[in-house]
A = this chain, B = another copy of it.
Amino acid sequence: MKVEIRVQANAFDPLAELVPVHAAGPQVGGVVSFVGLMRDLNQGDRVHSMTLEHYPGMTEKALAAIVDEAGQRWALDMVRVVHRVGEVLPQDPIVLVAVASAHRGEAFRACEFIIDYLKTRAPFWKREQTRDGSSRWVEARDSDDAAAAGWSNGAEATPSGSAEPTASGEQT
């Protein structure tokens, strides 16, 4: 399994990131990708921008552990995870998770597992600046905990707890 994990302050182009995943080899039958984008609305307030803080060193370690666990659960050819830190603006890509596998079911499972675990186990924190000039830390969501918990029983099927509405302007 080829793995690339990056945490970066610079903006990234999710399409450029997908190029090597789509070219991962003639044995690859499917690529599943998730791109998380910043939304402009949170709890009814227009969000002007968001600042992502992380724990340098631990973040990369946590992401590597999550991807490694995915690679043990499913047969994967390539995984790429890219995550922004610093200031992001509405519609900016915040995170990309791309998975190449011989079989589509495994690519879907692994991609959703990685983003669900990232959202509950990787040390990132969002602070949002609303358009009225105020600023607040984004609260962790129970639905994310539920989504991650759905994987912990070793089930191959995805958790179903991630579909309820959210008032959060962070990408889901």
Contact = CB atoms under 8 A, between A and B. Distances in A.
Interface of A: 14-15, 18-19, 22-23, 25-37, 39-41, 74, 90-91, 93, 101-109, 111-112, 115, 147, 155-163, 165-166, 170-172
Q: Can you tell how many copies of this chain the complex includes?
A: 2
Given A34-B32, A104-B115, A147-B105, A39 B18 contact: no
Nearest to A95: B30
Given A105-B172, A172-B105, A29 B19 contact: no
A152 to B, nearest CB: 15
Given A15-B15, A32-B34, A91-B26, A105 B162 contact: yes
Contacts of A32: 32-34, 111
Contact of A170 (B29, B35, B37, B40): B29
Given A29-B172, A34-B32, A171-B29, A39 B108 contact: no
A29 B39 contact: yes
Contacts of A35: 22, 30-31, 33
